[in-house]
A and B are shown apart, each in its own frame.
Chain A
Amino acid sequence: MPTAIPGVAAIIAILRTAGGVFMLLVETLRAALGKWPRRRVLVDQFYLIGFRSMPVVLTTGLFTGMVLAVQSFNQFRRVNIVSMVGAVVAVSMVKELGPVLSGLMLAGRVGAAITAEIGTMSVTEQVDALRASATSPIRWLVLPRVAAAVLLTPILTLMADVVGIAGGTLICVGFLKVEWHFHYINMLDWLKVWDVGVGCAKSSVFGLLIALTAAYKGLNTEPGAAGVGKAATEAVVTSCILILVSDFFLTVMFAALKPDWIR
């Protein structure tokens, strides 16, 4: 049997998940073209996925920006360009650290919650009850969560960027006595609108991957409490890997769109 060969079973499982997530994406897009669930369902998800994620994402952004400033300052001091620390913090936060770290934190918080909720609904036949009531679980459960994640992840990421840059500035100007004027000028000089746009686009994709993977794992939960726990763990691990892998390809893709971007 092919599954007996080491690694083959894992590859088959990954391909099956990838295929399932892709089919769920198609179904979700189709559902998005039809009638949307009532407003309260959407508002609930926007609140849970967006507002309730703010503390964790903002904390991540703040401390990442601050630690980046401290580390960069130590390096840059040797070549006497400490006024560039702000630019490095801003560009790193907006291009990579903001989207990726926010994505990873949301995969843990939002992804696990989505899988646990939909998974519990699956094993207690609530998903079947939805279908029995002639309502598509994709329209009712998946679409609001995917919409909230796709729209709100970039906003949360932007908040993390702003807080991170502010934290970096506080460290640089407040504690490490970098000249505010040069810090500010360099930051503005190096940070481009395109970078902000790319960061937002990437985090939207990360939000999509998190919500779709979590919903897929939830809908395909094995029976029992252990099944829900296993599905939640798998959802978080899979989303984190997908974020890291897709980040590379998205970066290359955007670089190809605007070749001077990575210069």
Chain B
Amino acid sequence: MNPAAESQEGSPATGKEIPEGTPVLEVRDLRKSLGGKEVLKGVNLTVLKGEALVIIGGSGCGKSVLLKHILGLFKPDSGSIQIEGQDITRLHERDLFTVRQRFGMLFQGAALFDSMTVAENVSFSLDEHSKKSASEKREIVQKKLAIVGLKDVENKYPAELSGGMKKRVALARAIAADPDFLLYDEPTTGLDPIMSDVINELIVKLKKALKVTSIIVTHDMASARKVADRMAMLDGGVIIYHDTPENTFASDNDVVRRFVEGKASMEQMKEIWGESAGTAQESENTRRRKRPPPPAE
């Protein structure tokens, strides 16, 4: 296990001067119930400066809820989230705005403002929080769109863009104000494999180019393998495992191994096949093995 992951050390609240590898974000015993169900049951997590931490876990396990807590969009029932030593769970919404200016977030469905053009979306934070002139802002918008590989889309509306382009515009919006932290909520969900890879490459590029600390929530293993410096698995409302990607993909932890290999548990198989689950699966595997190979072209 990565010793840094368990570090409880605080860090100076001095912003960008913090050396890489120092803990900058610490989640401690975070609990949250939604709709009468406890989603987070005491999450502990440490994020290091400049790393890309991938949080994996099944659908509905609370990954996105955890991410939204980090941004202060949800208030926890108990526990703390320290960002460079400052507990953001105790801050009022107005004070959280200052903290959020250091974050960029890519939402699962891109969440572009559909009444605004691409350029207005990307420059939204700048319009709201900076005193830059219109020409400076236009230049930044073009630069950020170029970073995500887009041009000549400034005057389009989100409804005119494909899923992959929306994600890239959302990414350009997230990095517009040069954040210290980038949060990605299922960045590749709903995209074809090639566009997924484009987004993965962008995540890696942004981490290197902007030196941001990235937290990526996903259940896309190809994405995790490509972008992660470290991986953590959320299961049953707690972080059950964290380690390097190499160790994670070679893990002998049953839950982690089944997740990274994409295999249903025996209980889930029984829910589908009944008591004959083992036999049914075996015969299916046998049938597949016996199937003749496709003719060579």
A interface residue numbers (CB < 8 A to B) = 38, 121, 124-126, 128-136
Q: Which residues on the A side are within 8 Å of B38 (C-beta)?
A: none
Question: With A125-B108, A125-B111, A126-B114 in contact, do A132 and B128 touch (Cβ < 8 Å)?
Answer: no
| Nearest chain B CB to A29 CB, angstrom units | 14
Counting CB contacts under 8 A, is B68 at the interface? yes
Counting CB contacts under 8 A, is B215 at the interface? no
Question: With A128-B68, A128-B73 in contact, do A134 and B129 touch (Cβ < 8 Å)?
Answer: yes
Interface string of B88-122 (1 = CB under 8 A from A): 00000110011011011101110111100000000
Do B113 and A134 have beta carbons less than 8 Å apart?
no
| Nearest chain A CB to B104 CB, angstrom units | 8
Q: Which residues on the A side are within 8 Å of B107 (C-beta)?
A: 125, 128-129, 132
Closest 10 CB pairs of A and B: A125-B111, A129-B111, A134-B97, A134-B100, A132-B105, A125-B107, A134-B101, A133-B125, A126-B111, A135-B128
Q: Which residues on the A side are within 8 Å of B284 (C-beta)?
A: none
| Nearest chain A CB to B13 CB, angstrom units | 18
Do B111 and A128 have beta carbons less than 8 Å apart?
yes
Interface string of B31-69 (1 = CB under 8 A from A): 000000000000000000000000000000000000010
Do B73 and A133 have beta carbons less than 8 Å apart?
no
Do B73 and A131 have beta carbons less than 8 Å apart?
yes
Do B73 and A126 have beta carbons less than 8 Å apart?
no
Question: With A125-B107, A125-B108 in contact, do A132 and B71 touch (Cβ < 8 Å)?
Answer: yes
B interface residue numbers (CB < 8 A to A) = 68, 71, 73, 93-94, 97-98, 100-101, 103-105, 107-109, 111-114, 124-125, 127-129, 173
29 CB contacts below 8 A, A to B, read A38-B127, A121-B113, A124-B109, A124-B114, A125-B107, A125-B109, A125-B111, A126-B111, A126-B112, A128-B68, A128-B107, A128-B111, A129-B105, A129-B111, A129-B112, A132-B71, A132-B73, A132-B100, A132-B103, A132-B104, A133-B125, A133-B128, A134-B97, A134-B101, A134-B128, A134-B129, A135-B97, A136-B93, A136-B97
For the A-B complex with A126-B114, A129-B113, A132-B73 known, give 20 more contacts whose Cβ atoms are closer than 8 Å. Answer: A38-B127, A121-B113, A124-B114, A125-B109, A128-B111, A129-B107, A130-B113, A131-B71, A131-B100, A132-B100, A132-B107, A133-B124, A133-B125, A133-B128, A133-B173, A134-B98, A134-B100, A134-B125, A135-B97, A136-B97
| Nearest chain A CB to B179 CB, angstrom units | 10
Q: Which residues on the A side are within 8 Å of B109 (C-beta)?
A: 124-125
Q: Which residues on the B side are within 8 Å of A121 (C-beta)?
A: 113
A125 CA / B101 CA spacing, docked (Å): 18
Q: Which residues on the B side are within 8 Å of A136 (C-beta)?
A: 93-94, 97
A195 CA / B73 CA spacing, docked (Å): 47
| Nearest chain B CB to A12 CB, angstrom units | 16
Q: Which residues on the A side are within 8 Å of B125 (C-beta)?
A: 133-134
Smallest CB gap from A138: residue in B: B93
A130 CA / B115 CA spacing, docked (Å): 13
Q: Which residues on the A side are within 8 Å of B104 (C-beta)?
A: 132
| Nearest chain A CB to B66 CB, angstrom units | 14
A128 CA / B112 CA spacing, docked (Å): 11
A125 CA / B98 CA spacing, docked (Å): 20
A250 CA / B222 CA spacing, docked (Å): 64
Smallest CB gap from A37: residue in B: B128
Smallest CB gap from B174: residue in A: A132
Q: Which residues on the B side are within 8 Å of A133 (C-beta)?
A: 100, 124-125, 128, 173
Please indicate which of the listed interface residues A121, A124, A126, A132 has the most CB atoms of chain B within 10 Å of its own CB: A132
A50 CA / B112 CA spacing, docked (Å): 27
Q: Which residues on the A side are within 8 Å of B101 (C-beta)?
A: 134
Q: Which residues on the B side are within 8 Å of A134 (C-beta)?
A: 97-98, 100-101, 125, 128-129
A121 CA / B158 CA spacing, docked (Å): 13
